[in-house]
Every structure is written in C-alpha cells, then in structure tokens.
C-alpha cells in the first residue's frame, strides 16, 4: 500500500494538473497519478464533443448566412413607422384568466433563442460534458489553457458566437498534444479568429482591391500573433514587424455568402486582397507566393526562441505558481526548442518534473475550474442553465474574455474580496441544490478530498448546521479551492 505522503502527492497532482476527483470514481484513480497523466499524453488524442448540430465551420457558415438573410428579410417585412399593426387580443377583466386557459399552466417560454446563441449553448454544454467525463482532466485543462491563449470573443459578432465552440474543436483540441506550429496555423487561419481580430477587413494597399477601394491594412491579428500568441510583448519585435506581418497575411479571409472562393464561412486565401512583393519580418525577407508567405512566417515564429520562453512561462504560471519557478521555465523552454514545439514532449516534461509536483498549492481555481471540479464532485450534469449563471456571476463565461489577451491566470484576478463573496454565494447555491441527493456530506468530503482533507475542514463540515451548509463548506475549503 502506498504511504500517506505518496497518496497526498498523487491527490495534489490530480488537482494541480487535472479537474479534481469525481463522484463515483474509485480511490485507485489517485495513484499512481503521474503514470495516469503520462498515459493520457501518450495517447496524443482527446475525444471530440458529440451531438453537435453542425459538424464544422462550413456547415455553420452556411447556416449563419441563411439565418442572417432570414433576419434581414423579416426586418424588411415589418410595417413601417405610422402603418397600422394588428390589434392585441383584449385583456381579461379584473385580472382573470381568459376563457379556456388553465390557471395552473406554466407561462409560455420566450421565443426560441436565435441560431448563434442556440449553437453557443449547445457547444458549451458539450464542452462541459467532456470535462465531467474525463478521467483525470489533464487534457481538458490543456484545452482550456490553449483556448485562452489563442482566445476569441463570442460576443464580437454572430459569427464568433456561432463558431466559438467549433473554433476550439477544430483549431485547439486536435493539437494540444501535437505541434505548436500546427495549432498556431489552425488558430490564425480559422474564420472565428479572422473575424474576431478583423483580418477579413485587412487589404494590402498595393493589392488590386486596395488600389480599387482605397482601403488598407488592419494590424489587429498581426499584433496579437506577435504579442500574445508567439514571441510575447518582450520578444524583440518592433512596430515595423507588426506592419509587415499584417502585409504578409493580407488575403487570409472568410468566404462570403456568395461562395466564390469556397464554402460560405470557411477560410480562403483571396489573392485580390494580398499585398504583393516581399516583406521583412524580424530581419528575414518573405517573398513566397500567396498563402505560403504567411505559413512560412508563422512557422518561423513558432520555432523562435522567444516563443519557447513565452509559452514555457505561461504553462508554468498556469499549472504551478503565479511566480513561475525559473528553473522549471528553463527546462520546458529547452524541451520546446529541442523538439521544435512538440507539445506532447513539453507536457511530458511538466508532468515528469519533481519541481512541478512539489510546489505548494497556492493557485486558486479559476471560476471555470471551480465549476467543473464542483460539478464532478457533486455529480451534476452539463446543463447550460446551470452553467451559464454561475460563470457569468464569477466573471468567466466560456469564450467571452474582455479582450484578445484572454482571461487572467493569476490569483489577483479571482481572489479579490468581491470575487470571493460571489464564490461563496455560488457555493451556497450548489449546496442547496445538491443536498437532497447527498446522503452524508461528511462521507462525500472524505471521498472527494481524500488525503488532502485537513482536520479543520473535516470539523467544519461535520459541525455544519445543515446539509447545504456542509456541502458549501467542502466546496469553499482551502483543499478544494487551491491546486
């Protein structure tokens, strides 16, 4: 039998790198935890959400354009100001129910949400379902990390809302144990990213379209590729590199409803928008034809030493500590460079590091991590209505960061007095909702926290005035909140 210290280490590891112990899982899942995590990396693939209404961006784009055309037609068909409209049915006298109406019937629901919101709702539910079903959740945590690194904002437009889940499914999830440059290319060329950071509006000034329309570059995507996705703000680039990268990726656009260059809503390279000639990026000229120019630039950025350092710092900050241990950062950066961005190798180096396992659990779970861990612990289902309210209240709804830098990854963002108060309110609500299905909160606390359970937390749960309070105390305990 493993020693208590080994069992505690395994429990810390599953919480640090995964999503926490789930209701119904056997205690054996805790050990040997490192081997389980390494086995997940060795598989190199993650399951994809199932039951999606659309298989990918081509179908989604066509559906979106059809929806927008129907909305436009409906608006145009509405009576103009001053024209008569149909009279409303007469109200029942004295507040009585109209004849024939059941007074006990539930009120009719609001009209069905619009297509972009319905698709977003289905994608969130499927995304959470995968996280709740995962054995350890390490791969799901990596999906969260990389989706936030290459973030888009679902509230930017109908296109980003309806494609947010597909973007993660297509650009992020297949590559978390693959090559960084493949994820980089998939993210930057995805229609959701091209819409979110306005590259579909960017036109080479000397391109045929630029000369004809008198419009020019949009540098948003180029700037964020350098600052947020690859080199980092201290990565050694200058404004001229931002401008030249913007020129290099002109023509990377989204197919319109006319479907001239492909399926509506899919990626296309439009030569008529592309800035001709060679451009210099970080001292190197790029003169390849068409789309190949952008691919060559992204490949070099993916393999740049500054990118390796930037990614290593972010990974260690996310999984280990707000103040990333320099030696661990150097180790991961070295593996990134040696393997030319093999993310499976980088993840393996993280899991194999004793420094990563031995660090004190000082990171507080983000709202999304808290919700997923709590749902796993309480055996809750991935119902959108139960997900959206708490995450909105705590400030981290899926795919809705305030800007292209994504959600913050430090304790300061989530452990503010207001944030803690909201977290207490959310935990109290979950406790009330789960109380009827939990026979003994003390037994559940022992099962979920295992070797991490402290005497103080045990006493607090045991002395609680009610089941809801006991469950809330478990969820709010330091052992549950920190990883």
Q: What is the mean pLDDT of residues 444-453?
A: 95
Q: How does pLDDT run across 274-318, given as a tens digit for each residue? A: 999 999 999 999 999 999 999 999 999 999 999 999 999 999 999
Residue 411 has pLDDT above 60, yes or no: yes
Residue 107 has pLDDT above 50, yes or no: no
pLDDT category at 109 given cuts 50, 70, 90 is very low
Q: Residues 309, 241: one domain? A: no
340: left (phi over 0), alpha (psi -120 to 50) or beta: left
Q: Is residue 135 part of a domain?
A: no
Q: Is residue 186 part of a domain?
A: no
Q: Is residue 192 part of a domain?
A: no
Q: Residues 401, 316: one domain? A: no
Q: How does pLDDT run across 236-276, given as a tens digit for each residue? A: 999 999 999 999 999 999 999 999 999 999 999 999 999 99
Q: Is residue 252 part of a domain?
A: yes
> Where among 358, 382, 400 does a domain terminate?
358
Q: Residues 369, 281: one domain? A: no
pLDDT category at 50 given cuts 50, 70, 90 is confident
- For 236, what's the count of Cα atoms within 13 Å in the CB-facing half-sphere? 11
Q: Residues 290, 247: one domain? A: yes
- Domain residues for 348? 305-358
Q: How does pLDDT run across 203-217, given as a tens digit for each residue? A: 999 999 999 987 899
Q: What is the mean pLDDT of residues 338-361?
A: 96
CA gap 190, 182 in Å, rounded = 12
> Where among 276, 302, 328 does a domain terminate?
302
The count of domains in the chain is 3
Residue with tokens 């909140």: 481
Using an 8 Å Cβ cutoff, are 47 and 67 in contact?
A: no
Q: What is residue 105's predicted lDDT score, i.e. its pLDDT?
A: 35
Residue 222 has pLDDT above 50, yes or no: yes
What DSSP designation does 175 have?
G
Q: How does pLDDT run across 154-206, given as a tens digit for each residue? A: 999 999 999 999 999 999 999 999 999 999 999 999 999 999 999 999 999 99
Q: Residues 420, 442: one domain? A: yes
Exposure string for 48-85, b = 16+ CB within 10 A, e = fewer? ebeebebeebbbbbbbbbebbeeeeeeeeeeeeeeeee
Q: Residues 294, 311: one domain? A: no
Q: Residues 309, 298: one domain? A: no
Q: Is residue 206 part of a domain?
A: yes
Q: Residues 217, 257: one domain? A: yes
CA gap 469, 459 in Å, rounded = 13
For strand 252-254 and strand 267-269, is the pairing parallel, antiparallel, or unpaired?
A: antiparallel
Q: What is residue 112's predicted lDDT score, i.e. its pLDDT?
A: 67
Q: Which of 199, 105, 188 is nearest to 150 (CA)?
A: 188
Q: What is residue 51's predicted lDDT score, i.e. its pLDDT?
A: 84
Q: How does pLDDT run across 33-46, given as a tens digit for each residue? A: 999 999 999 999 99
Q: Residues 221, 318: one domain? A: no
Q: Is residue 53 part of a domain?
A: no
Q: Residues 379, 440: one domain? A: yes
Q: Is residue 46 part of a domain?
A: no
> Where among 316, 341, 358 does a domain terminate?
358
CA gap 127, 442 in Å, rounded = 30
Q: What is residue 91's predicted lDDT score, i.e. its pLDDT?
A: 39
| Two structure tokens written together for 399 | 């795919």
Helix 158-167 and helix 115-133: axis angle, to 10°? Answer: 20
Q: What is residue 414's predicted lDDT score, i.e. its pLDDT?
A: 97
Q: Residues 351, 451: one domain? A: no
Q: Is residue 59 part of a domain?
A: no
pLDDT category at 52 given cuts 50, 70, 90 is confident
Q: Residues 223, 201: one domain? A: yes
Most distant pair of Cα atoms in the chain: their distance = 82
Q: How does pLDDT run across 185-194, given as a tens digit for each residue? A: 999 999 999 9
């Amino acid at each position: 039998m493993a020693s208590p210290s080994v069992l505690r280490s395994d429990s810390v590891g599953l919480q640090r790198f995964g999503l926490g112990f789930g209701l119904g899982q056997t205690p054996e899942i805790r050990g040997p935890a490192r081997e389980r995590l390494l086995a997940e990396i060795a598989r190199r693939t993650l399951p994809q959400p199932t039951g999606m209404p659309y298989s990918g961006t081509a179908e989604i784009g066509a559906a979106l354009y059809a929806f927008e055309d129907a909305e436009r037609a409906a608006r145009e068909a509405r009576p103009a100001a001053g024209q008569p409209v149909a009279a409303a049915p007469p109200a029942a006298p004295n507040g009585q129910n109209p004849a024939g109406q059941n007074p006990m019937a539930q009120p009719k629901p609001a009209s069905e949400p619009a297509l972009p919101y319905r698709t977003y709702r289905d994608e969130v539910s499927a995304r959470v379902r995968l996280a709740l079903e995962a054995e350890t959740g390490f791969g799901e945590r990596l999906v969260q990390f990389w989706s936030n690194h290459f973030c888009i904002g679902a509230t930017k437009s109908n296109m980003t809302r309806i494609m947010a889940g597909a973007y993660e499914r297509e650009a992020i999830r297949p590559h978390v144990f693959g090559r960084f440059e493949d994820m980089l290319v998939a993210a930057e060329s995805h229609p959701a990213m091209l819409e979110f950071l306005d590259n579909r509006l960017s036109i080479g000034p000397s391109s045929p379209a630029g000369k004809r329309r008198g419009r020019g570059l949009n540098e948003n995507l180029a700037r964020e590729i350098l600052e947020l996705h690859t080199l980092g703000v201290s990565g050694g680039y200058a404004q001229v590199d931002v401008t030249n990268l913007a020129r290099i990726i002109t023509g990377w656009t989204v197919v319109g409803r006319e479907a001239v260059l492909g399926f509506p809503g899919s990626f296309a390279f439009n030569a008529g928008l592309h800035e001709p000639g060679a451009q210099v990026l970080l001292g190197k000229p790029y003169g390849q034809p068409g789309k190949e120019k952008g691919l060559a630039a992204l490949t070099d950025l993916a393999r740049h030493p500054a990118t390796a350092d930037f990614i290593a710092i972010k990974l260690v900050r996310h999984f280990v500590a707000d103040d990333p241990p320099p030696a661990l950062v150097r180790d991961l950066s070295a593996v990134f460079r040696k393997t030319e961005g093999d993310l499976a190798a980088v993840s393996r180096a993280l899991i194999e590091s004793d420094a990563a396992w031995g660090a004190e659990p000082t990171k507080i779970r983000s709202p999304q991590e808290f919700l997923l861990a709590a749902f796993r612990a309480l055996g809750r289902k991935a119902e959108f209505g139960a997900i959206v309210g708490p995450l909105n209240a705590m400030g981290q709804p899926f795919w809705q960061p305030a800007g292209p830098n994504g959600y913050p990854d430090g304790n300061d963002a989530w452990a503010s007095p207001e944030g803690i108060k909201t977290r207490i309110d959310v935990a109290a609500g979950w406790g009330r909702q789960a109380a009827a299905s939990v026979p003994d909160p003390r037994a559940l606390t022992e099962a979920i926290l295992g070797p991490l359970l402290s005497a103080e937390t045990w006493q607090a749960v045991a002395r609680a005035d009610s089941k809801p309070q006991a469950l809330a105390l478990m969820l709010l305990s330091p052992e549950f909140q920190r990883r």
